[in-house]
Amino acid sequence: MKIGELASRAGVSPRLVRYYEQQGLLAPNRRPNGYRDYDEEHVDRVIRVAGLVQAGLATRLVKEVLELEDAAADERPSCPRTVADMLALELTGIEERIACLSRSRDTIRDFLARTEHAAVLSERQAAPA
């Protein structure tokens, strides 16, 4: 498939797909004419990369995580100390962001519950996700 179809199926822009390639996160197949050619595994890879980036990981760390996942899939579990340190630091940051978001959610929920707009909160909670 071409880059546009890959991007559409993965829910990202073609520009982002090219960026992931530049960062070494994605390696497309090449046709004889030099055009990129993608398959289903590339769709899954782009979705995975985009999810990790949206979770707050820097692309350099995403690359390390993907390499660790590939090694684990090949039954070659390995994690250098430097990568473990980066992951631990990233985990701390993620946990801090989750705590901040949780406090914000609780503050907003409490505010709505104490106002005349409490029904809005009930409606949102009852609506299917």
Report the chain's mean pLDDT, rounded to a whole number.
87
Query: Is the pLDDT assigned to residue 45 strictly greater than 80?
Result: yes
Residue that the structure tokens 């899939």 belong to:
73
Share of the chain above pLDDT 90, in %: 50
Same domain, 70 and 88: no
pTM for the model: 0.65
| pLDDT tens-digit map of 56-112 | 888 988 998 888 887 776 666 677 788 888 888 888 988 998 999 999 999 988 888
- pLDDT score for 8: 96
Same domain, 65 and 89: no
The total domain count for the chain is 2
State the burial class of residue 8 (Cβ atoms within 10 Å of its Cβ: 0-12, 13-18, 19+): middle
Q: Is the pLDDT of residue 27 over 70?
A: yes
Report the CATH number at residue 48: 1.10.1660.10
Range of the domain at 47: 1-78
Q: Are residues 19 and 65 in the same domain?
A: yes
Both tokens assigned to 92: 């701390």
**Claim to verify: residue 14 and residue 61 sit in the same structural domain:** yes
Q: In angstroms, what CA-CA distances link 125 with 59, 102, 118, 120, 129?
A: 35, 16, 11, 9, 9
For residues 21 and 62, state if they share a domain: yes
- My answer on whether 45 and 105 are in the same domain is no
- Is 51 in the same domain as 103? no
Residue pointed to by tokens 């050619």: 37
